[in-house]
Structure 1
């Protein structure tokens, strides 16, 4: 009887590292943009309320209170 060897397939990850890094970067940027549009009251922007006034109408359109 010949000796048989079991061949195991090489396991590959379902998601590549590059795709995962890209997805995490996009999510982080979207969270930052969401924060700046919805909740920044001049804390991040160095020019005072400039960012707040720039995003003012967008906040009301999204239903985010800013007053």
Structure 2
């Protein structure tokens, strides 16, 4: 008599986990750019700050 083999599948697929990690990283980067960046990443000075300026006020984040 042979024993039956049990096939296990992971609860979360690797593709779903990678997609969720990528989405989370993108959202954290966007949150940083909108809320905390004061022109540090922009090569032209305050371009990024001015681009995100209205979003800061809409979210209640002080910027000046």
Q: Same fold (TM over 0.5)?
A: yes
1:35 corresponds, among 19, 29, 32, to 32
Flag structure 2 segments of 5+ consecutive residues without an equivalent: none
For the aligned residue pairs, the C-alpha RMSD in angstroms reads 1.2
Offset of residue 14 of structure 1? 0.7
Matched, 1:50 2:47: yes
- Any residues of structure 2 matched to 1:1-67 within 5 Å, and which? 5-67=2-64
Between 18-27 and 4-13, the greater mean CA deviation after superposition: 4-13
- TM-score when normalising by structure 1: 0.86
TM-score, structure 2 as length reference: 0.89
* Superposed displacement of residue 61, structure 1: 0.6
Q: State the aligned residue count.
A: 64
> Unpaired segments of 5 or more residues in structure 1?
none
